[in-house]
Amino acid sequence: MAKPGVYKSEVKKARDSLIAQGKHPSVDAVRIALGNTGSKTTIHKYLKELDEEGGGVADRKASISEALQDLVERLAAQLQDEANARIDAVRAEQAEQARQHAEALAAAQRDAAHWRDEAQQLDAALADERDRHGTTREALQRETIARHTAEQRAEGLDARLAENEAHRRSLEDKHRHAYEALDHYRQSAKEQRDQDERRHEQQIQHLQAELRATQQTIIVKQEDVTRLNQEGARLVADLSHARSALHEEQERSRQLAHRLEALPAAEQHAARLEAQLADKEARLADVTARLQEGTAQVAALNAQVRDLQLDLAAAKAGVTAQQDIVAALRADLDARAA
């Protein structure tokens, strides 16, 4: 795209360069020398101003213009002669073509008359054919309507058949899935019932074994308590006798205090009795402690027995409840299977 605003000095420089090269400084040549910039109108204006400013250049331009004008006139005359010759040839050719067209037109008119007669015959035949075609078309329309109606009914029946088939397959799938789910539920319920029964039987057996072991322990502890009670009673009786003897000896010792120096054997006997008394008191304390410990163990064992009896009763109640649930499930499964 040419840039606007080309200067007159630039146009003058390009024109002088072309003249120095022996070239004619035309508008296009100057514009090419300027790098295809500037509008042709502006360049032509500047060239005209420059020509007006320099007379010698204008004379040269005038001589060149006259030579070009002479050349153009001679070329125009030659083109005119060639054009006239061509026009004469074209006119002769057109006349020959017109004669041929006239002959062809006459032959065409004769053919047209012949074809017109045939066309009238064909029109009559066509009218008959149209009548027959109308009857056939009406029959075809009725047949088409009947066929379309039959096709619609067939499509409707096919659709209903497909829906029924899909519904049948869906019912079969649902029935199969329900049967599989029921069978799986039966198997799962049976396995769960068997596991629960085995687990409860094991719990009951374990509780019964613990109960028997606890009862045996209670029997042994009760025998120990009975034996300890008997031994304690015997020790209490011995202690009572020892205390009575000691009291008698002390009384006798007080009465015979004035005879102590003469009776060393009595003092030794009293000492032995005191030692025996201390030993019996120690044994009594040990028996009493053992008796308390045994009593506490018996109470704990009795509490444990009560807990085991409660657990056993709860386990039996759970087994009974689960057996009722299993029986209800069996009845439900049997009702569904039926």
pTM of the entire predicted model: 0.29
Q: CB under 8 Å to 4, separation ≥6 — which residues?
A: 38, 39
Cβ burial 57-91 (10 Å sphere, 16+ → b, else e)? beeeeeeeeeeeeeeeeeeeeeeeeeeeeeeeeee
Q: Are 198 and 322 in contact (CB under 8 A)?
A: no
Q: Where are the domains of the chain?
A: 8-106, 193-337
Fold of domain 193-337: Helix Hairpins (1.10.287)
Per-residue pLDDT of the chain (338 residues; tens, 9 = 90+): 445 568 888 999 999 999 888 888 888 889 998 888 888 889 889 888 888 887 544 445 545 665 565 466 556 546 766 777 788 888 888 889 888 888 888 887 888 788 888 878 877 877 887 888 788 888 888 888 988 887 888 788 888 888 878 888 888 888 788 678 777 877 877 888 788 778 878 877 887 887 788 778 878 877 877 887 787 788 778 777 777 877 777 777 677 666 656 566 766 777 888 888 788 888 888 878 888 887 888 788 888 888 888 888 888 887 788 788 878 887 877 787 76
